[in-house]
């Protein structure tokens, strides 16, 4: 089913179109919601709401952008609304706080599990904006252009933010912040 057939079907709320739409987009929305809320039940609830909203408001979709980009934009708005209304706790530190390795830097050989813990811990401390950006980039295989449209940032800005987030991961991974590692080991 191509996009214009799908949109026509959704406008008429045909079962086949709804099925096709949900099948194609639910997982993308779910992944974004899980990464941003860090809560699976909430993410599933948000996914349902996003699917319903998209179908109800399909008439507002301007065919200038891709359907996928539009779905993400709706999803992002819904996630942020949910977090705001329910005062959901998402760990938020400013970039400086997050990416500030301690002065006591030690070269450490990390095993795979350590690497994963460090990456996921670092990720969870990022701002919602960066979480969104990294999810779109690493998990959703979107082009820079598409990410820029969804995040409403310029492409250059997306590049810079991706690079900085990357540096953050690298800093904690290469010259490990020893307190973070201890924290991980005794968690």
DSSP assignment string, 121-138: HHHHTS-HHHHHHHIIII
Cβ proximity to another protein, 2 vs 15, nearer residue: 15
Measured from the CB atom, is 104 or 167 closer to another protein?
167
CB of 150 to another protein, least distance (A): 16
Closest distance of CB 35 from another protein, Å: 7
List residues binding another protein (CB under 8 A).
Answer: 12-13, 15, 18-19, 22-23, 26-27, 30-31, 34-35, 40, 44, 47-48, 51-52, 55, 115-116, 119-120, 123, 134-135, 137-139, 144, 159, 162-163, 166-167, 169-170, 173
- Distance of closest approach, residue 184 Cβ to another protein, in angstroms: 13
Q: What is the DSSP letter of 107?
A: E
* CA-based nearest residue to 171, from 96, 61, 86: 96
∠ CA 167-92-85, nearest 5°, is 140
Beta-strand ranges (E) seen in 46-183 are 105-107, 175-177
């Amino acid at each position: 089913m191509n996009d214009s057939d799908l949109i026509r079907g959704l406008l008429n709320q045909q079962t086949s179109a709804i099925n096709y739409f949900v099948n194609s987009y639910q997982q993308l929305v779910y992944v974004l919601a899980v990464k941003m809320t860090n809560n699976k039940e909430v993410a599933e609830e948000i996914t349902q709401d996003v699917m319903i909203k998209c179908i109800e408001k399909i008439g507002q979709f301007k065919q200038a952008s891709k359907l996928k980009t539009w779905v993400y934009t709706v999803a992002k708005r819904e996630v942020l609304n949910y977090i705001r209304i329910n005062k959901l706790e998402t760990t938020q530190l400013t970039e400086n706080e997050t990416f500030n390795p301690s002065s006591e830097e030690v070269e450490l050989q990390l095993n795979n599990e350590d690497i994963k813990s460090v990456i996921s811990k670092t990720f969870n401390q990022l701002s919602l904006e960066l979480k969104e950006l990294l999810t779109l980039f690493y998990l959703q295989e979107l082009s820079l252009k598409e990410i820029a449209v969804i995040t409403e940032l310029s492409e250059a800005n997306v590049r810079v933010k991706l690079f900085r987030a990357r540096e953050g991961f690298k800093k904690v991974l290469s010259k490990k912040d020893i307190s973070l590692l201890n924290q991980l080991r005794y968690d």
